[in-house]
Each structure stands twice: as C-alpha cells, then as structure tokens.
C-alpha cells in the first residue's frame, strides 16, 4: 500500500508529495519511467513497469525509437500504460553517473517529463528516483536536483494543469533522501 510521507502545497494550490510504495500501482494520469535511451525495459523500475504493464509498453517503446531515434534527456518518450492503472508512461532518460554534467541532465529529464505531462493535458503524475539505480547517481544529490526541478517547474508554471506530482519511492534510503531534499528546498526558500 502506498503511503504519503510528506506533502507540500504551492501557492498555486499545486501539490508535491513524497510517497513510499510501488510506482506501478499509482492511480495517476501518468507515471514516469526511469528509462534508457533505447527504451529497452529490462531491469529496475523500467523492468517492473514493463512486467506489470504487459508487452504493449515495450512494443510501443520499440516503435517510438524506430520513429524518433534514441530518447534525449530533455525530451522523454510517451507510451500508453498497458495494464497499469495510469493512462500513460512517460519514459525519461536520466544521466549515468560519471558521464559529465549529470545535475543538468537529470534536471532536464524531470522538467521534460513535466512539460510532456502538461502537453498531454494531464493533472497528476508520479516519478521515481531517476538515475539512482544502476545509473549510480548518488541518492542525496539526485533528490536535491529532482525536488528542485519539480519545485522550479511548479513555481514558474502556476497556471499549469498539473495539480499533483508524486515522488514514489520504494526503499527507505530514497524516501529519507527525498524528505531531506524537500525540507532543505522549502526551508531555504523561506529564509531568503
């Protein structure tokens, strides 16, 4: 069962939640997949999404790559959600730790996911801790970048149709890192 650990409401009424649980069970308009550029959904979050969602997601992903080429950080791919309870899967490609300019690439992947959701007219989406699995991005640093990118987007787009952004995290260390990032971000904002 997914459990809300923390909620932050923006002046616009938009909400950011940190949730401990399973991304593939989120009943939101879209979930964000931590994908690779070729959209081959083998392991980690991507593997779980592909298994739960059924073969349609991989088939649509293959078609996307054939049509558009490899997915770029700032321009996620979109597929239907197959058997998942959401409507879409937004496939965001985060950076591999060590490739250079990782913070900017991770922020671009998050912002690109939000822009994609906005373009699709969605009101809610849930994201995982992009790049913190096999891509090796340190959780604490990734949490700061991801929370900052979401908060920045919602602050700059108060009229966006996106009302709810959930960070849905499976393991306790990720939850702790994101709660800390949220606390850091929002307390820093109020002291300036």
Distance (Å) of CA 157 to CA 47, 92, 151, 165: 32, 20, 10, 13
User: In angstroms, rounded to a whole number, what is the distance separating the alpha carbons of residues 87 and 89?
Assistant: 7
| φ, ψ dihedrals at 30, nearest 5° | -145, 150
User: In angstroms, rounded to a whole number, what is the distance separating the alpha carbons of residues 84 and 115?
Assistant: 22
pLDDT single digits (tens) 52-93: 999 999 999 999 999 999 999 999 999 999 999 999 999 999
pLDDT for the residue 1: 79
Name the domain count of the chain: 1
- In sequence order, the β-bridge partners of residue 93 are 35
Asked whether residue 9 carries a pLDDT value surpassing 90, the answer given is yes
Asked whether residue 189 carries a pLDDT value surpassing 90, the answer given is no
Pairing of strands 3-9, 15-20: antiparallel
pLDDT single digits (tens) 108-164: 999 999 999 999 999 999 999 999 998 999 999 999 999 999 999 999 999 999 999
pLDDT for the residue 187: 86
User: In angstroms, rounded to a whole number, what is the distance separating the alpha carbons of residues 87 and 85?
Assistant: 7
pTM of the model: 0.95
CATH number of the domain to which 42 belongs: 3.40.220.10
User: In angstroms, rounded to a whole number, what is the distance separating the alpha carbons of residues 136 and 46?
Assistant: 15
pLDDT for the residue 192: 41
Q: How confident is the model at residue 16 (pLDDT cuts 50, 70, 90)?
A: very high
- pLDDT average, residue stretch 29-52: 95
Going by C-beta distance under 8 Å and a sequence separation of 6 or more, which residues neighbour residue 113?
32, 76, 90, 92, 125, 127
pLDDT for the residue 127: 98
Q: Residue 37 belongs to what domain range? A: 3-191
pLDDT for the residue 191: 46
Going by C-beta distance under 8 Å and a sequence separation of 6 or more, which residues neighbour residue 183?
none
pLDDT single digits (tens) 93-106: 999 999 999 999 99
Distance (Å) of CA 140 to CA 112, 137, 145: 21, 9, 9
Give the largest CA-CA distance in the chain. Answer: 49
pLDDT for the residue 190: 54
Q: Which 3 state secondary structure label does DSSP give 8?
A: strand
User: In angstroms, rounded to a whole number, what is the distance separating the alpha carbons of residues 166 and 2?
Assistant: 11
């Amino acid at each position: 069962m997914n459990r809300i650990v923390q909620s932050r409401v923006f002046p616009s009424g938009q909400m950011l939640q940190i949730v401990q649980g399973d991304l593939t069970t989120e009943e939101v308009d879209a979930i964000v997949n931590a994908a690779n550029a070729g959209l081959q959904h083998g392991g980690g979050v991507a593997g779980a999404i592909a298994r739960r969602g059924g073969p349609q997601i991989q088939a649509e992903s293959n078609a996307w790559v054939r049509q558009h080429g490899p997915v770029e950080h700032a321009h996620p791919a979109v597929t239907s959600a197959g058997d998942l309870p959401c409507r879409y899967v937004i496939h965001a490609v985060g950076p591999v730790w060590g490739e250079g300019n990782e913070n900017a690439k991770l922020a671009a992947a998050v912002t690109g996911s939000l822009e994609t959701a906005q373009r699709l007219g969605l009101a809610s989406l849930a994201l995982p801790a992009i790049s913190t699995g096999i891509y090796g991005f340190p959780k604490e640093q990734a949490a700061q970048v991801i929370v900052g990118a979401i908060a920045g987007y919602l602050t700059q787009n108060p009229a966006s149709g996106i009302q709810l952004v959930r960070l849905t995290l499976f393991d306790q260390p990720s939850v702790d890192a994101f709660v800390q990032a949220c606390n850091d971000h929002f307390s820093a904002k109020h002291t300036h």
